[in-house]
Amino acid sequence: MKNFSYVLKGKYIIKFDIIAKTGLHIGASNNSLDIGGVDNAVIKDEEGKPYIPGSSLKGKMRSLMEYAEGLIKPEELIFSKESKDDPIRIHMCDKEDCAVCNIFGRNHGKHKFVSGKEVVFENITPTRLIVRDAKLDKESITKEMKENIDFEWTEVKFENNLDRITSSANPRQTERVPAGAKFKGEMVLNVLNDEGTKYLSKVIQAMKLLEDDYLGGQGSRGYGKIKFENIKITFRDKEYYEEGRGEKVIVENAKDLSEIKL
């Protein structure tokens, strides 16, 4: 294993709103059907309000960046979970200049590639990107919206899966956050050594890719279109943490991602 030296130069604080442009479904881990409940519930916080887990946002951004960087190929994919029925394969490599690994981290230990090769990475890298859970802005669910949704914060969409031979229907209910809902989000990007805005630009690129993809489940059915708005980016250097000064505004309340020029 190589002995790398990392020096924290500061942190980019990225704050933004996430606007649901279509119904959004990020499922809860327990989707058992309760009496009077729905088949597929959305994940909710301790107050019963839907939220966007930071893990969902970060995972989707990582996946899109892997495709954008051309890294979806057997020699570049490892098993993060090796299972015959439900494997999870992600990109990880040993290249020092890999943007995906340098932003999202590169784990220690032995890894098995999809191709069957096993390797121990030398370039162990801590994750630079921290993604917070995005909390619902309650005011975004207006009185008019509440008159047309099924629960206090969410709607229920009924769908049918049809058997192609018998044409028999399998009805199912899916809980969704309605279009127009707003979530307050935040990311923190650590700057190590003298890398400047190199990886900040990649994070902004991943956010743009996500806007033209989907977040959560059932995106091919129209769910999960989102937009980032009201973006503010500041940089806090070492003096900020040592002396309470040194915060620099990089982007001041950009209406959307298209206004960000680094």
pLDDT, tens digit, for every residue of 166-213?
777 777 788 999 999 999 999 999 999 888 899 999 999 999 999 999
E strand spans, 127-181:
129-131, 134-136, 155-162, 169-176
In this prediction, residue 245 carries a pLDDT of: 85
- Asked whether residue 118 carries a pLDDT value surpassing 70, the answer given is yes
Which tokens sit at 109?
């230990």
**pTM of the shown model:** 0.89
Domain boundaries, the chain: 8-259
Region 65-79: mean pLDDT is 89
Average pLDDT of the residues of the chain: 89
pLDDT band, very low/low/confident/very high, at 159 (cuts 50, 70, 90): confident
Q: How far apart are CA 86 and CA 76, in angstroms?
A: 19
Task: Confirm if 181 and 141 have CB atoms less than 8 A apart.
Answer: yes
In this prediction, residue 3 carries a pLDDT of: 52
